[in-house]
Protein backbone atom coordinates (compact mmCIF):
# COMPACT_ATOMS: atom_id res chain seq x y z
CA UNK A 1 0.00 0.00 0.00
CA UNK A 2 2.85 2.35 0.78
CA UNK A 3 3.94 2.86 -2.81
CA UNK A 4 0.54 4.25 -3.83
CA UNK A 5 1.66 7.72 -2.79
CA UNK A 6 4.43 7.73 -5.35
CA UNK A 7 2.36 6.24 -8.12
CA UNK A 8 -0.48 8.68 -7.66
CA UNK A 9 1.94 11.55 -7.46
CA UNK A 10 1.23 12.67 -3.93
CA UNK A 11 3.64 15.35 -2.84
CA UNK A 12 4.93 16.55 0.48
CA UNK A 13 5.63 20.24 0.90
CA UNK A 14 7.37 21.93 3.79
CA UNK A 15 6.05 25.47 3.83
CA UNK A 16 7.86 27.90 6.03
CA UNK A 17 8.29 31.57 6.63
CA UNK A 18 12.04 31.83 6.73
CA UNK A 19 14.88 30.55 4.63
CA UNK A 20 17.59 28.57 6.34
CA UNK A 21 20.62 30.85 6.34
CA UNK A 22 23.08 28.79 8.36
CA UNK A 23 25.13 26.82 5.83
CA UNK A 24 25.73 23.84 8.11
CA UNK A 25 22.04 23.47 8.82
CA UNK A 26 21.31 23.92 5.13
CA UNK A 27 23.72 21.12 4.18
CA UNK A 28 22.17 18.76 6.72
CA UNK A 29 18.66 19.54 5.46
CA UNK A 30 19.79 19.13 1.83
CA UNK A 31 21.12 15.69 2.69
CA UNK A 32 17.78 14.61 4.20
CA UNK A 33 15.89 16.15 1.26
CA UNK A 34 17.82 13.90 -1.11
CA UNK A 35 17.10 10.83 0.99
CA UNK A 36 13.39 11.69 1.33
CA UNK A 37 13.08 12.02 -2.44
CA UNK A 38 13.96 8.35 -2.82
CA UNK A 39 10.53 7.71 -1.34
CA UNK A 40 8.25 10.62 -2.17
CA UNK A 41 8.03 13.89 -4.09
CA UNK A 42 9.18 16.51 -1.61
CA UNK A 43 9.79 20.22 -1.84
CA UNK A 44 10.30 23.30 0.29
CA UNK A 45 8.39 26.51 -0.11
CA UNK A 46 9.82 29.51 1.69
CA UNK A 47 7.42 32.39 1.61
CA UNK A 48 8.99 35.82 1.22
CA UNK A 49 10.37 37.10 4.43
CA UNK A 50 8.46 39.96 6.01
CA UNK A 51 11.24 42.52 6.10
CA UNK A 52 9.71 45.38 8.00
CA UNK A 53 11.13 44.90 11.48
CA UNK A 54 9.13 47.88 12.75
CA UNK A 55 6.00 45.79 12.44
CA UNK A 56 4.42 44.59 15.64
CA UNK A 57 4.41 40.80 16.22
CA UNK A 58 0.68 40.81 15.45
CA UNK A 59 1.17 42.62 12.13
CA UNK A 60 3.99 40.19 11.40
CA UNK A 61 1.97 37.02 11.84
CA UNK A 62 -0.96 38.55 10.00
CA UNK A 63 1.20 39.34 6.99
CA UNK A 64 2.68 35.87 7.17
CA UNK A 65 -0.81 34.35 7.35
CA UNK A 66 -1.77 36.03 4.06
CA UNK A 67 1.33 34.63 2.36
CA UNK A 68 0.81 31.17 3.85
CA UNK A 69 -2.80 31.07 2.63
CA UNK A 70 -1.71 32.09 -0.87
CA UNK A 71 0.36 28.90 -1.11
CA UNK A 72 -2.47 26.56 -0.15
CA UNK A 73 -4.25 24.86 -3.02
CA UNK A 74 -7.36 22.80 -3.43
CA UNK A 75 -6.53 19.16 -2.66
CA UNK A 76 -4.00 20.02 0.04
CA UNK A 77 -3.96 18.46 3.45
CA UNK A 78 -2.41 21.13 5.66
CA UNK A 79 -0.70 20.37 8.94
CA UNK A 80 0.76 22.92 11.31
CA UNK A 81 4.00 22.05 13.05
CA UNK A 82 3.01 23.68 16.27
CA UNK A 83 4.00 23.46 19.92
CA UNK A 84 0.36 22.98 20.81
CA UNK A 85 0.01 20.01 18.44
CA UNK A 86 -0.18 16.28 19.04
CA UNK A 87 3.03 14.77 20.35
CA UNK A 88 3.58 11.72 18.16
CA UNK A 89 6.45 9.33 18.39
CA UNK A 90 8.33 8.43 15.20
CA UNK A 91 6.31 5.28 14.60
CA UNK A 92 2.97 7.02 15.06
CA UNK A 93 4.12 9.75 12.70
CA UNK A 94 5.01 7.16 10.05
CA UNK A 95 1.59 5.53 10.52
CA UNK A 96 -0.11 8.88 10.12
CA UNK A 97 1.79 9.46 6.86
CA UNK A 98 0.94 6.02 5.55
CA UNK A 99 -2.74 6.54 6.29
CA UNK A 100 -2.67 9.88 4.49
CA UNK A 101 -0.91 8.36 1.46
CA UNK A 102 -4.02 6.26 1.00
CA UNK A 103 -6.31 9.24 0.59
CA UNK A 104 -7.12 11.49 -2.36
CA UNK A 105 -5.15 14.49 -1.22
CA UNK A 106 -2.74 15.83 -3.80
CA UNK A 107 -0.28 17.34 -1.39
CA UNK A 108 0.49 17.14 2.30
CA UNK A 109 1.62 20.60 3.30
CA UNK A 110 3.45 20.85 6.61
CA UNK A 111 3.63 24.45 7.78
CA UNK A 112 6.27 25.96 10.09
CA UNK A 113 5.44 29.40 11.47
CA UNK A 114 7.82 32.29 12.04
CA UNK A 115 9.33 33.53 15.30
CA UNK A 116 5.97 34.72 16.56
CA UNK A 117 4.02 31.58 15.68
CA UNK A 118 0.79 31.53 13.72
CA UNK A 119 -1.95 34.14 13.54
CA UNK A 120 -5.43 33.43 14.83
CA UNK A 121 -6.65 33.38 11.22
CA UNK A 122 -4.45 30.35 10.55
CA UNK A 123 -5.67 28.54 13.67
CA UNK A 124 -9.25 29.23 12.59
CA UNK A 125 -8.67 27.04 9.54
CA UNK A 126 -8.64 24.10 11.92
CA UNK A 127 -5.67 22.35 10.39
CA UNK A 128 -4.28 19.30 12.14
CA UNK A 129 -1.43 20.22 14.46
CA UNK A 130 1.63 18.10 15.14
CA UNK A 131 4.34 18.93 17.67
CA UNK A 132 7.89 17.63 17.22
CA UNK A 133 8.75 18.35 20.84
CA UNK A 134 7.40 20.19 23.84
CA UNK A 135 10.63 22.14 23.71
CA UNK A 136 10.95 25.25 21.62
CA UNK A 137 13.50 25.26 18.83
CA UNK A 138 14.38 27.90 16.26
CA UNK A 139 12.23 27.46 13.18
CA UNK A 140 15.37 26.84 11.16
CA UNK A 141 16.26 23.94 13.40
CA UNK A 142 12.66 22.73 13.29
CA UNK A 143 13.15 22.19 9.55
CA UNK A 144 16.09 19.90 10.18
CA UNK A 145 14.15 17.94 12.84
CA UNK A 146 11.18 17.62 10.57
CA UNK A 147 13.20 16.44 7.56
CA UNK A 148 14.97 13.89 9.72
CA UNK A 149 11.64 12.58 10.97
CA UNK A 150 10.16 12.54 7.49
CA UNK A 151 13.07 10.46 6.29
CA UNK A 152 12.92 8.23 9.36
CA UNK A 153 9.17 7.70 8.86
CA UNK A 154 9.81 6.25 5.40
CA UNK A 155 12.55 3.94 6.62
CA UNK A 156 10.08 2.72 9.27
CA UNK A 157 7.31 2.19 6.69
CA UNK A 158 9.66 0.31 4.41
CA UNK A 159 11.14 -1.57 7.32
CA UNK A 160 14.62 -0.43 6.36
CA UNK A 161 17.60 0.07 8.57
CA UNK A 162 18.19 3.77 9.21
CA UNK A 163 21.12 4.95 7.10
CA UNK A 164 23.48 7.07 9.14
CA UNK B 1 20.69 33.24 42.37
CA UNK B 2 21.53 32.11 38.89
CA UNK B 3 25.16 33.15 39.00
CA UNK B 4 25.93 30.89 41.93
CA UNK B 5 26.59 28.01 39.57
CA UNK B 6 29.44 29.85 37.93
CA UNK B 7 30.94 31.13 41.18
CA UNK B 8 30.89 27.75 42.82
CA UNK B 9 32.32 26.13 39.73
CA UNK B 10 29.46 23.83 38.88
CA UNK B 11 30.02 22.13 35.57
CA UNK B 12 27.76 20.60 32.99
CA UNK B 13 28.98 17.53 31.15
CA UNK B 14 27.39 15.89 28.14
CA UNK B 15 28.49 12.27 28.27
CA UNK B 16 27.82 10.22 25.19
CA UNK B 17 28.83 7.01 23.55
CA UNK B 18 29.60 8.21 20.07
CA UNK B 19 31.57 11.03 18.58
CA UNK B 20 29.81 13.34 16.17
CA UNK B 21 31.34 12.54 12.80
CA UNK B 22 29.24 14.70 10.50
CA UNK B 23 31.17 17.96 10.08
CA UNK B 24 28.08 20.14 9.64
CA UNK B 25 26.54 18.81 12.83
CA UNK B 26 29.87 19.21 14.57
CA UNK B 27 30.13 22.87 13.55
CA UNK B 28 26.61 23.58 14.78
CA UNK B 29 27.32 21.91 18.12
CA UNK B 30 30.64 23.77 18.45
CA UNK B 31 28.80 27.04 17.96
CA UNK B 32 26.35 26.24 20.77
CA UNK B 33 29.19 25.02 22.99
CA UNK B 34 30.83 28.43 22.70
CA UNK B 35 27.60 30.20 23.54
CA UNK B 36 26.86 27.91 26.50
CA UNK B 37 30.31 28.60 27.95
CA UNK B 38 29.37 32.25 28.35
CA UNK B 39 27.09 31.05 31.12
CA UNK B 40 28.51 27.87 32.59
CA UNK B 41 31.45 25.47 32.48
CA UNK B 42 30.49 22.92 29.88
CA UNK B 43 32.29 19.98 28.33
CA UNK B 44 31.67 16.87 26.25
CA UNK B 45 32.91 13.44 27.18
CA UNK B 46 32.76 10.85 24.42
CA UNK B 47 33.45 7.42 25.75
CA UNK B 48 35.47 5.17 23.47
CA UNK B 49 33.38 3.64 20.78
CA UNK B 50 32.70 -0.06 21.14
CA UNK B 51 34.22 -1.23 17.90
CA UNK B 52 33.30 -4.87 17.77
CA UNK B 53 30.28 -4.93 15.51
CA UNK B 54 29.91 -8.67 16.00
CA UNK B 55 28.72 -7.98 19.54
CA UNK B 56 25.05 -8.48 20.24
CA UNK B 57 23.03 -5.37 21.16
CA UNK B 58 22.96 -6.59 24.75
CA UNK B 59 26.75 -7.01 24.89
CA UNK B 60 27.02 -3.58 23.31
CA UNK B 61 24.97 -1.74 25.90
CA UNK B 62 26.61 -3.68 28.70
CA UNK B 63 30.08 -2.65 27.53
CA UNK B 64 28.86 0.92 27.15
CA UNK B 65 27.39 0.82 30.66
CA UNK B 66 30.79 -0.06 32.11
CA UNK B 67 32.41 2.86 30.31
CA UNK B 68 29.61 5.24 31.30
CA UNK B 69 29.92 4.28 34.97
CA UNK B 70 33.69 4.84 34.85
CA UNK B 71 33.09 8.50 34.01
CA UNK B 72 30.73 9.15 36.90
CA UNK B 73 32.26 10.78 39.96
CA UNK B 74 31.18 11.49 43.49
CA UNK B 75 29.22 14.75 43.57
CA UNK B 76 27.67 14.20 40.13
CA UNK B 77 24.00 14.59 39.41
CA UNK B 78 23.39 12.22 36.51
CA UNK B 79 20.51 12.62 34.11
CA UNK B 80 19.69 10.25 31.26
CA UNK B 81 18.46 11.77 28.03
CA UNK B 82 16.01 9.03 27.38
CA UNK B 83 12.85 8.57 25.34
CA UNK B 84 11.10 7.28 28.45
CA UNK B 85 11.99 10.42 30.41
CA UNK B 86 9.97 13.44 31.45
CA UNK B 87 8.88 15.65 28.58
CA UNK B 88 9.76 19.15 29.70
CA UNK B 89 9.21 22.31 27.73
CA UNK B 90 12.12 24.73 27.38
CA UNK B 91 10.98 26.88 30.28
CA UNK B 92 10.58 23.93 32.64
CA UNK B 93 14.01 22.67 31.60
CA UNK B 94 15.53 26.06 32.44
CA UNK B 95 13.77 26.00 35.83
CA UNK B 96 15.10 22.54 36.50
CA UNK B 97 18.63 23.73 35.73
CA UNK B 98 18.27 26.77 37.91
CA UNK B 99 17.07 24.68 40.82
CA UNK B 100 19.99 22.32 40.37
CA UNK B 101 22.46 25.20 40.25
CA UNK B 102 21.43 25.96 43.80
CA UNK B 103 22.49 22.58 45.14
CA UNK B 104 25.83 21.17 46.20
CA UNK B 105 26.39 18.96 43.18
CA UNK B 106 29.75 19.48 41.50
CA UNK B 107 28.69 18.41 38.03
CA UNK B 108 25.45 17.82 36.20
CA UNK B 109 26.14 14.95 33.84
CA UNK B 110 23.65 14.47 31.02
CA UNK B 111 24.05 11.06 29.41
CA UNK B 112 23.12 10.10 25.84
CA UNK B 113 23.05 6.38 25.12
CA UNK B 114 24.15 4.63 21.96
CA UNK B 115 22.02 3.19 19.15
CA UNK B 116 20.68 0.47 21.41
CA UNK B 117 19.84 2.70 24.34
CA UNK B 118 20.89 2.05 27.93
CA UNK B 119 21.52 -1.24 29.68
CA UNK B 120 19.36 -2.36 32.58
CA UNK B 121 22.33 -1.76 34.90
CA UNK B 122 22.18 1.95 34.03
CA UNK B 123 18.44 2.15 34.61
CA UNK B 124 18.94 0.46 37.98
CA UNK B 125 20.94 3.49 39.12
CA UNK B 126 17.64 5.39 39.17
CA UNK B 127 18.95 8.52 37.51
CA UNK B 128 16.48 11.20 36.58
CA UNK B 129 15.35 10.84 32.95
CA UNK B 130 14.54 13.70 30.61
CA UNK B 131 13.18 13.28 27.09
CA UNK B 132 13.81 15.94 24.45
CA UNK B 133 11.01 14.60 22.26
CA UNK B 134 8.75 11.61 21.92
CA UNK B 135 10.30 11.19 18.50
CA UNK B 136 13.47 9.20 18.01
CA UNK B 137 16.48 11.02 16.65
CA UNK B 138 20.00 9.83 15.92
CA UNK B 139 22.13 10.24 19.03
CA UNK B 140 24.36 12.59 17.06
CA UNK B 141 21.40 14.83 16.35
CA UNK B 142 20.29 14.50 19.97
CA UNK B 143 23.53 16.24 20.94
CA UNK B 144 22.69 19.21 18.76
CA UNK B 145 19.15 19.40 20.19
CA UNK B 146 20.45 19.18 23.70
CA UNK B 147 23.09 21.87 23.23
CA UNK B 148 20.53 24.18 21.66
CA UNK B 149 18.20 23.64 24.62
CA UNK B 150 20.99 24.12 27.12
CA UNK B 151 21.87 27.42 25.49
CA UNK B 152 18.21 28.43 25.25
CA UNK B 153 17.69 27.58 28.93
CA UNK B 154 20.35 30.08 29.95
CA UNK B 155 18.91 32.82 27.75
CA UNK B 156 15.55 32.14 29.44
CA UNK B 157 17.09 32.26 32.92
CA UNK B 158 18.88 35.50 32.14
CA UNK B 159 15.82 36.87 30.38
CA UNK B 160 17.84 37.52 27.27
CA UNK B 161 16.68 37.63 23.70
CA UNK B 162 17.69 34.44 21.89
CA UNK B 163 20.67 35.15 19.66
CA UNK B 164 20.16 33.68 16.24
* Per-residue pLDDT tens over the stretch B115-126: 889 999 999 999
Domain range annotation of chain A: 4-157
**Residues of B with CB below 8 A from A57's CB?**
none
Distance CA(B101)–CA(B149), nearest Å, equals: 16
**Residues of B with CB below 8 A from A134's CB?**
87-89, 133
* Per-residue pLDDT tens over the stretch A133-148: 999 998 889 999 999 9
The verdict on domain B4-157 having CATH code 3.40.1280.10 is yes
| Region B94-100 average pLDDT | 95
* Per-residue pLDDT tens over the stretch A21-68: 999 999 999 999 999 999 999 999 999 766 666 788 898 899 999 999
Q: In angstroms, what separates the C-alpha of A39 from chain B's closest C-alpha?
A: 19
Provide ipTM, 2 decimals: 0.86
- Predicted model pTM: 0.90
Distance CA(A33)–CA(A27), nearest Å, equals: 10
Q: In angstroms, what separates the C-alpha of B83 from chain A's closest C-alpha?
A: 9
**Residues of B with CB below 8 A from A144's CB?**
141
Checking if the pLDDT of A118 tops 60, the result is yes
Q: What angle do CA B151, B154, B158 make, to 5 degrees?
A: 145
The residue that leads in pLDDT, B133 or B8, is B133
Amino acid sequence: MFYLAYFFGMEIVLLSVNKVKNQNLKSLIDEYDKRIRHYIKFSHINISNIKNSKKSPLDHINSEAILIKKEIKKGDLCILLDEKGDLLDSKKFSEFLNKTYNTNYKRIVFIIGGSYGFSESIYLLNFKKISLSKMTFTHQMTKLFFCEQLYRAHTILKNEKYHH
